[in-house]
Amino acid sequence: MSKASKKDDLDLTPAQVAAVMAELAESKAELAKLKSEAESGVTLKTTQYGALQILGIRGGYLGFYSDEWEKILGLGDRIRAWCEDHDEILTKAESYAKTPADDRKK
């Protein structure tokens, strides 16, 4: 193939250039989303039954159907208030300390 024909293969109309740029922008946005999910260690997945699963919070997964998630998400303010009111008796996962019984299991 001559250099001239290679150049001809790259001739794009302004509309084609705009379409390629839009596709590139979409790809970059999707990549940024995937990187963010990977960094957080939390991923979302739809099951074969149509439920939404959240993976990466605990050893297993949290899975509910969309109407159940809507109900749970609607309780957000109530859950936050309850956690604030009971903060002194709640244990946070990242600060969970082993008990002496855990040491005996070895």
What is this structure's pTM? 0.50
Q: Identify whether residues 30 and 48 lie together within a single domain.
A: no
> Within this chain, do residues 33 and 84 fall inside the same structural domain, yes or no?
no
Residues, the chain = 106
pLDDT of 22 reads 95
The span from the CA of 99 to the CA of 96, in Å, is 9
Looking at the fold, whether 48 and 32 belong to one and the same domain comes out as no
Name, of 5-19, 31-45, 70-84, the range with top average pLDDT.
70-84
pLDDT of residue 96: 67
Which residue, among 62, 26, 28, has the nearest Cα to 43 in the 3D structure?
62
The per-residue pLDDT for 6 is 55
Task: Clarify whether residues 100 and 68 are in a common domain.
Answer: yes
Stretch among 58-62, 68-72, 94-98 having the lowest mean pLDDT: 94-98
Do 99 and 47 share a structural domain? yes
Residues 57 and 105 in one domain: yes
How is residue 95 annotated by DSSP? G
Q: Collapsing DSSP states into helix, strand and coil, what is residue 6?
A: helix
Lowest mean pLDDT among 32-36, 52-56, 78-82: 32-36
> In total, how many domains does the chain have?
2
Q: Where are the beta strands (DSSP E) in 1-106?
A: 43-46, 52-55, 61-64
Q: Is residue 25 scored above 80 in pLDDT?
A: yes
Q: Is 11 helix (H, G, I), strand (E, B) or coil?
A: coil
Of 35, 33, 40, the C-alpha closest to 54 is 40
Same-domain status, 21 and 54: no
Domain that residue 20 falls in: 1-40
Q: Is the pLDDT of residue 90 over 70?
A: yes
Question: How many alpha carbons lie under 13 Å from residue 74 in its C-beta half-sphere?
Answer: 6
Cα of 33 vs its chain's centroid, Å: 8
Q: For 36-40, 63-67, 79-83, which range has the lowest pLDDT when averaged over its residues?
A: 36-40
